[in-house]
Chains A and B, each alone.
Chain A
Amino acid sequence: MIADGVENEEKWLAAGIAGLQQNAFYMHRALDSNNLRDALKYSAQMLSELRTSKLSPHKYYELYMRAFDELRKLEMFFKEEARRGCSIIDLYELVQHAGNILPRLYLLCTVGSVYIKSKEAPAKDVLKDLVEMCRGIQHPVRGLFLRSYLSQVSRDKLPDIGSEYEGDADTVVDAVEFVLQNFTEMNKLWVRMQHQGPAREKEKREKERSELRDLVGKNLHVLSQIEGVDLDMYKDTVLPRVLEQVVNCKDEIAQFYLMDCIIQVFPDEYHLQTLEILLGACPQLQPSVDIKTVLSRLMERLSNYAASSAEVLPEFLQVEAFSKLNNAIGKVIEAQVDMPIFGAVTLYSSLLTFTLHVHPDRLDYADQVLGACVKKLSSKGKLDDSKATKQIVALLSAPLEKYNDIVTALKLSNYPRVMEYLDIETNKIMATVIIQSIMKNNTHISTADKVEALFELMTGLIKDLDGAEEEVDEDDFKEEQNSVARLIQMLYNDDQEEMFQIICTVKKHIMTGGPKRLPFTVPPLVFLSLKLVRRLQGSSQDQEENPFGDDSSTSPKKIFQLLNQTIEALSIVPAPELALRLYLQCAEAANDCDLEPVAYEFFTQAYILYEEEVSDSKAQVTALHLIIGTLQRMHVFGVENRDTLTHKATGYSAKLLKKPDQCRAVYGCAHLFWVDDQDNMKDGERVLICLKRALRIANAAQQMSNAARGNTGSVLLFVEILNKYLYFYEKGNPQITVAAIQSLIELITTEMQSDNSPPDPAADAFLASTLRYLQFQKQKGGAISEKYEAIKIWHSWWSEELDASNASSVLTPCVLVNDTVVIFTELHDLSV
């Protein structure tokens, strides 16, 4: 049925156009032959097509536009006639002889426009007559189009200030009066549409009405374009009259649209100076009007206006814009009992944006707005309306965006109170927004109090809230926690005492985070603390008179105690590997502070974890290398402690599951006995023992492989051990002899040539690189070369190998550039 309707409408439109064109054709002919009588007759017939009731506004518009074009030609003809001496007054009467009112009025407006142009009568009289006569069309659609035609043809003929139609008798007052009257009548017609026709077509009607609304709004636009409408006239005449119509029409659609129109078409400074009048109308609107959008747009405009130039700000203060808006919003919320909470929050959000723009210095205003919002929210409990929560997020984000500084926002006492009303999910989102703001602006949160407040705001991220439904997306969760971690890293205060307080505060909060969060939050806290430790260390070196250890001030010791507790907390997760790393990190820091007992304690904790918690063999290997690497660098330990720890480490090495792992761990342990820059830490003998042991294990590994798989496996381990030999040889370990090295090389080459070993390009390349390194050192000259000269290798053999290695060597650059050996580099990496 609807499809039928559309089809029929198309047909009617086509018929209308055909009729119109036919009469237009005869009209043109009459115009060409200067036959006025026929021209009037056919133009009236042509315009009769507009009398149809069958078209929707959209289609009617199409027809109207065609008629409009034709009327332009007729108008030209009238002008010509007038020039030829035909009395325009007679013409004005003549067109009124038409029997049908609609064609008559279109013609009257057309002649009227020529009449004004001829200046034979004051413009105001003609305009007044036209706008009065148009009352004859009471049909909404036809009336709206006719009046919009009137508005169109009269636009450039208003007796505006500076216009050629302005005269002693014609003033801008008349122009305004005319437009206002046309506007009022059009609005009445527009509103009336709502009440005509069957109730079941309400939706269709509203759609049609919205298609027509711009015809009505155009009048306001015309008003805004009249030069002579200055502030006084706007304030005394235009605005009150328009608002009167808006309020009195009692129509939801019209009120919303027109309020919005007023806000959009008139200049900002007018709005500012007439805020009271404009806002006064708001509570009088129908309760169903979406007033929040209206007011939001007003405030948005004013905000932009305020932002546009600093010079206008005094105006805002002068008219007390904030308090007026604040009052108005209060009244509107009071008046519209049914306004959803979402609406109220939107209003507050706009008001907040406004006050932030206009009164950036008045934090109390912002807080007042938030306070009002809290008050409104408190009557509703926690929000479950997604639109409302979105608005609250907007509300809360506004101060952050404005001040680029959470610190300012933290001063708003009502800020966290608003957050309380958010659901958990949104609370998190908001917390993320806050963090992002901090990141973006590199804000320094520099006191413990602020940190406290900030973490209160971010509760949603810091701990599980009551009633939190689980099933959070893993990635989202990681994202959130990572941002918390980043935030922690950003906390900073020059004052060490305060910094310590900050750390304590953070610790207090993150400890409540539960096993899921701790792995994310503990490391940044640990490193934040370690940073402080280093600063203390630095400053204590500068100021000898304030040695740390003084109980009253922050000392590394205190921090280490705190760290100990912090890392311990990871045991509930559990995350032994992470904890182990952190312990080692702390141990190194303690080492730098010369706190042997503390360092020892950390190592102990690490060892305990290794023994009790780290069971996965891969994890064990990694952990062990970390331990070795860290321990190697420790200088704080006395002989006894070091021996204990070293002993333990070697012990662990030998107990690894896989032979190659054992082998590598053991040769790694060799470094524990040889610390380059410490002369008391050079025990060549034990180094050799380790290396020999490593060789033995490598050998055993080969045999095992032979037994299990039928080949001896790679010689890679041997090459690695060779590198260790070379390292220690180079470092001057007397226990490493040239003979041992040469025999090792020999062993390797023999192994490689044996049929029993599978080809291993990596091993080949590694060996080739090692040998090239040897060669390089020989040629470098100086003491090193002399040392290396002692090592003889068969030249022919390695040069051949070298060629082969050119094709596949990957490790070459590494070996050549560093003067350390490959494996050792790896150790460094792991211990960072």
Chain B
Amino acid sequence: MDQNYLIGAFKPSCNISITFSDAKNRKQVPMKKENGQTLMVPLFHSQENIAGKISIEPLQGKKVDQVGVKVELLGQIEMYFDRGNFYDFASLVRELDVPGEIYERKTYPFEFSTVEMPYETYNGVNVRLRYVLKVTVTRAYAGSIIEYQDFVVSNYSPPPPINNSIKMEVGIEDCLHIEFEYNKSKYHLKDVIIGKIYFLLVRIKIKNMDIEIRRRESTGSGANTHVETETLAKFELMDGAPVRGESIPIRLFLSPYELTPTHRNINNKFSVKYYLNLVLVDEEDRRYFKQQEITIYRLQESS
């Protein structure tokens, strides 16, 4: 009996569930939770209607004495060094009920029409951008009962009108001269990087050459800027020492890697940029590299 009482004491007095009206047809994507588990959540794009139902079901024999029921659509940026402090860049509210008592299951439809969601969901090293539906049942004397429902937002970009190749000659004087070429400067997430490296002068004994995809996430601003760089892909391009005149092909499929589009400036809070890093390693394990920024965008999938 004691136990029951205790359980009853800590349990919220009602269950809140949120369902989307097009849940059956909507695409679900995996999302990592903070505890490391992956959860399938619906995927939305900017300017879509987000509609559904919220049902509140008091526990057996209990009533909820509420002074207001609302649903909020929040776009939040969370800095990990400032944990728990969310910055809401978007916030929409729908009041669902007038104060009163709920004795039995009660369902409220809701709808946010053509919601402007300019930023994509992002899970970085130091920063997270999330979208969430937040249902709050405010009670007069007890604390509010709150339920969250995450969803993911991704936004397509049209193919860039200008997409020049990246071509550059780099080197160390009288030691190593190479010219490399990437066919584009802007790639979509399932793109292939095609390119070539020409060896114009080789006076060092090269062991191998890799291309890396690096993500540079910078958060904060001014003196508080944090920059975190991750290597998301390491792809060997060449094995052995080339001689002058050799040209080595590059063909790197981006699809196997977990990339996101480039984010230039998200609400002055953070940015995510991508770089291709060409690394040559000599026999003494010295590394020679050249980093070039590329833009990654999400292309509307044709299917």
Task: Check if A and B associate.
Answer: yes
Are the CB atoms of B241 and A196 closer together than 8 Å? yes
Known: A138-B242, A192-B243. A101 touches B249 (CB 8 A): no
**What mask results when residues 140 to 179 of chain B are scored 1 for a CB within 8 Å of chain A, else 0?**
0000000000000000000000000000000000000000
CA distance A135 to B242 in the complex (A): 10
CA distance A96 to B236 in the complex (A): 11
Interface residues of A in 86-137 (CB under 8 A from B): 93, 96-97, 99-102, 104, 132-133, 135-137
Are the CB atoms of A133 and B251 closer together than 8 Å? yes
Asked if A375 CB lies within 8 Å of chain B CBs, one says no
**What mask results when residues 129 to 162 of chain A are scored 1 for a CB within 8 Å of chain B, else 0?**
0001101111110110000000000000000000
Are the CB atoms of B239 and A137 closer together than 8 Å? yes
CA distance A808 to B114 in the complex (A): 144
Complex contacts, A478 vs chain B, CB 8 Å: none
Asked if B238 CB lies within 8 Å of chain A CBs, one says yes
Which of the residues B205, B248, B256 comes within 8 Å of A136, measured between beta carbons? B248
Asked if A655 CB lies within 8 Å of chain B CBs, one says no
Are the CB atoms of B234 and A142 closer together than 8 Å? no
Complex contacts, B235 vs chain A, CB 8 Å: 99
CB distance from B303 to the nearest CB of A (A): 14
Q: Name the residue of chain A whose CB is nearest to the CB of B235.
A: A99
Complex contacts, B247 vs chain A, CB 8 Å: 135
Are the CB atoms of B240 and A96 closer together than 8 Å? no
Interface residues of B in 84-113 (CB under 8 A from A): none
Complex contacts, B238 vs chain A, CB 8 Å: 101, 136-138
Q: How many B residues touch A, CB cutoff 8 Å? A: 21
Q: Name the residue of chain B whose CB is nearest to the CB of A108.
A: B251
Asked if B288 CB lies within 8 Å of chain A CBs, one says no
Secondary structure class of chain A's binding surface, majority of residues: helix
Asked if A51 CB lies within 8 Å of chain B CBs, one says yes
CB distance from A139 to the nearest CB of B (A): 3
CA distance A560 to B53 in the complex (A): 147
Known: A192-B243, A196-B241. A99 touches B251 (CB 8 A): no
Complex contacts, B233 vs chain A, CB 8 Å: 99
Asked if B246 CB lies within 8 Å of chain A CBs, one says yes
Q: How many A residues touch B, CB cutoff 8 Å? A: 22
Asked if B81 CB lies within 8 Å of chain A CBs, one says no
CB distance from B200 to the nearest CB of A (A): 15
Complex contacts, A192 vs chain B, CB 8 Å: 243
Asked if B237 CB lies within 8 Å of chain A CBs, one says yes
Which of the residues B239, B242, B246, B253 comes within 8 Å of A101, measured between beta carbons? B239
Are the CB atoms of A138 and B240 closer together than 8 Å? yes
**What mask results when residues 153 to 191 of chain A are scored 1 for a CB within 8 Å of chain B, else 0?**
000000000000000000000000000000000001000
CA distance A192 to B202 in the complex (A): 13
CB distance from A278 to the nearest CB of B (A): 27
Complex contacts, A93 vs chain B, CB 8 Å: 253
CA distance A767 to B233 in the complex (A): 121
**What mask results when residues 194 to 234 of chain B are scored 1 for a CB within 8 Å of chain A, else 0?**
00000000000100100000000000000000000000011
Are the CB atoms of B251 and A96 closer together than 8 Å? yes
Known: A96-B251, A97-B256, A132-B249. A138 touches B236 (CB 8 A): no
Are the CB atoms of B251 and A51 closer together than 8 Å? no
Are the CB atoms of A142 and B240 closer together than 8 Å? yes
Complex contacts, A138 vs chain B, CB 8 Å: 238-243, 246, 248
Interface residues of B in 244-277 (CB under 8 A from A): 246-249, 251, 253, 255-256
Are the CB atoms of A139 and B239 closer together than 8 Å? yes
Q: Name the residue of chain A whose CB is nearest to the CB of B233.
A: A99
Are the CB atoms of B240 and A133 closer together than 8 Å? no
Complex contacts, B253 vs chain A, CB 8 Å: 93, 96-97
Q: Name the residue of chain A whose CB is nearest to the CB of B241.
A: A138
Known: A132-B249, A135-B248. A99 touches B241 (CB 8 A): no
CB distance from B183 to the nearest CB of A (A): 15
Count chain A CB atoms within 10 A of each CB in B236, B240, B247, B248 and give the residue with the most.
Answer: B240
CB distance from A99 to the nearest CB of B (A): 6
Complex contacts, B251 vs chain A, CB 8 Å: 96, 133
Are the CB atoms of B246 and A136 closer together than 8 Å? no
Chain A interface (Cβ < 8 Å from any Cβ of B): 51, 93, 96-97, 99-102, 104, 132-133, 135-140, 142-143, 188, 192, 196
24 contacts between A and B (CB under 8 A): A97-B255, A99-B234, A99-B236, A100-B236, A101-B236, A101-B238, A101-B239, A102-B239, A104-B236, A132-B249, A133-B251, A135-B246, A135-B247, A135-B248, A136-B236, A136-B238, A136-B239, A137-B239, A138-B243, A138-B246, A139-B241, A140-B240, A192-B243, A196-B241
Known: A136-B236, A137-B239, A140-B240. 8 other contacts (CB 8 A): A93-B253, A97-B253, A101-B236, A104-B236, A133-B251, A136-B237, A138-B238, A138-B241
Query: Across chains A and B, which 7 residue pairs bring their CB atoms closest together, nearest first?
Result: A139-B240, A138-B240, A101-B236, A138-B242, A97-B256, A137-B239, A100-B236
